[in-house]
Structure 1
């Protein structure tokens, strides 16, 4: 920094202001300093700076490492928002961790001085382990669950999403509406089931037994075979995600059942390609980019002061041609 100051003919304090608060420096002075930085190839020593400020500008991100649309898109949104806010991220993917593995990851975060941790926790076990291991560090949980002391929650309102999908089918005249859920240890799956059930009860319609899937197209195809083996097909099926809907429609199509002519289908996520399914899929879109931004905003607030305990974003229905 001193070499930059000498070349630009300014004090090292002015160089620091150009780097950290450029708007406080006169344009002509700022240009001289920036030219000197370019000429000398100066790069800030962030490690040295963190020793002085006790701020590392590092955030930890924990997720399951799965290929599912929701968690992977959320992690991408968090990373983009963190970068835009001047933070670097340390990302740990824990697909089926034991307690010791989770504890080791959080110890690594502490050793590296992360200022806060974002945890994308789709199911009960991950949320429990994360809460136990993150004590003492500002933490945001991305999960459709309740906040706790020291652990803020940011989520999409999945119950509302399930209600939106089912209410749309009811408005279109469907009366026997089945639901293929995801695994019921996932927060999102349980909340979407609750929203589906709410809408049916409000309309005075029967609530059939949930068909439990695993988020895969294969489970949707298997559910189609199960429905076809029963006496009456439902009027409509609300699927827990778009992959399940894809498999369901393939299974119905292979049996000669028309979608939406005989059975209407609604998915969830508005994943890439949903508009090009045959037929184009009506689905519930989740605001993943906004979710990542909201998570980062709440985490920074938790680091610097007070943060809201719960932040919920609303999903939106995307109407296409899979509902008659």
Structure 2
């Protein structure tokens, strides 16, 4: 008999034969045994870099895997999620990574993770990773440059871009950012707001250009003049700084559309620190369903793509791997949902 302590509760002891018979031990078995999430088990067993799993939990998972008889099938097919020019701690991509790992696992694929930038060293890492012939397919996400695409093409490894990318002849699955930005801005307009700021990352990024397009279209359809002073940009996507800049420049506004929940969360903190009540004095809306949405006080109001539709990125990749659809195309994710949260209210100020 052997046992492993997981979260300190409901410790279960099993015989040495459990998990070692005809049915192979899975990551879910290990997760259930320890009383933790399957994502945490996957991050450890896949040796995912930059994960936030504690050393104690990591040790428990590895010990449980050994005692339960888990065997990592090196011959099992592998997919790789490659995040380009974005922090591995960005809440949007962490959420996407978890979702993609779950879907890949359901189709009996291991998911590897790689975080790269636009440096010679990173390009070399990418070439080496793709050249070892162990990866069946790649999901390429983040801010992707031409060199990365060139390396992908030359490698011959099937891949799908999961990002806004202005490029032809590439398999792309992306949220309909123009539609999402339009819905976010229109939601504020429906609540009586007319002085609506846009808090964005650098506009030369495709996703942010599309956010600006949707924002402007919503204003135009509502007969609200476009005021360039209300568009504030931060390369670092620092909502705290963007909100502070509006105050410093004395630019009046009653609401802000934030292009992601990281900016939205930062703006909320700045308003709180300034003694401004959200949402009665200022409303904030963003897009993306991340951990920040529910962790925030109040919870963030945000539009997001239905997770079930996001799973189509893996389905598309599997079709490419299997050669079921050789036509390269762009697929838009359009099933937009609203998480009500608590950061939007009807406008009480006609600034």
The answer, yes or no, to whether TM exceeds 0.5 is yes
Q: CA RMSD in A?
A: 3.0
- What is the TM-score of this pair, normalised by structure 2? 0.69
Task: Identify unmatched segments of 5+ residues in structure 2.
Answer: 1-19, 25-68, 346-351
- Alignment partner of 2:135: what SS? coil
- Superposition deviation, residue 260 in structure 1: 2.1
Judged with a 3 Å threshold, the aligned counterparts in structure 2 of structure 1 residues 229 and 80 are, in CA distance, closer, same or farther, namely same
Tell me how far apart the structure 1 counterparts of residues 282 and 118 of structure 2 sit (CA, whole Å).
40
Q: Secondary structure at the match of 2:99?
A: helix
1:141 aligns with 2:141: no
Contact kept in structure 1, 2:118 and 2:145, CA below 8 Å: no
Secondary structure, in 3 states, of the residue corresponding to 1:60? strand
Name the residue aligned to 1:255.
274
Residue in 2 aligned with 1:63? 83
Tell me whether 1:233 sits opposite 2:255 in the alignment. no
Q: Aligned partners of 2:257, 2:134: CA distance in 1, in Å?
A: 45
Superposed, which structure 2 residues align to 1:199-210 within 5 Å?
199-209=218-228, 210=231
Q: 1:297 aligns with which of 315, 330, 336?
A: 315
**Quick one: which of 282, 288, 313 aligns to 2:333?**
313
Q: In the TM superposition, what whole-angstrom CA distance separates every residue of 1:47-67 from its partner, at most 9, and x where no partner exists?
A: 4xxxxxxxx622232113521
How many pairs align? 274
SS at match of 1:154: strand
The superposition leaves residues 154-211 of structure 1 with CA deviations (integer Å, 9 ceiling, x where unpaired) of: 1111221111110001111111111100233433222222211111122121223321
For the pair 1:322 / 2:343, whether they are aligned, the reply is yes
Quote the Cα distance in structure 1 between the aligned partners of 2:289 and 2:80: 28
In 2, Cα distance between equivalents of 1:108 and 1:225: 43
Q: Give CA-to-partner distance per residue, 1:107-127, whole Å, 9 cap, x none.
A: 33232342222111x22xx24
What is the TM-score normalised by the length of structure 1?
A: 0.74
Higher helix share: 1
Q: Which has the larger radius of gyration?
A: 1
Once the two structures are overlaid, the 10-residue window that deviates more, 192-201 or 260-269, is 260-269
1:192 pairs, out of 211, 234, 244, with 211
How far apart, CA to CA, are the structure 1 residues paired with 2:93 and 2:99? 10
Structure 1, unaligned runs of 5 or more:
1-34, 48-55
Deviation, 1:38, is: 6.5
Offset at residue 100 of structure 1 (A): 4.9
Alignment partners' CA distance in 2, 1:176 and 1:38: 61
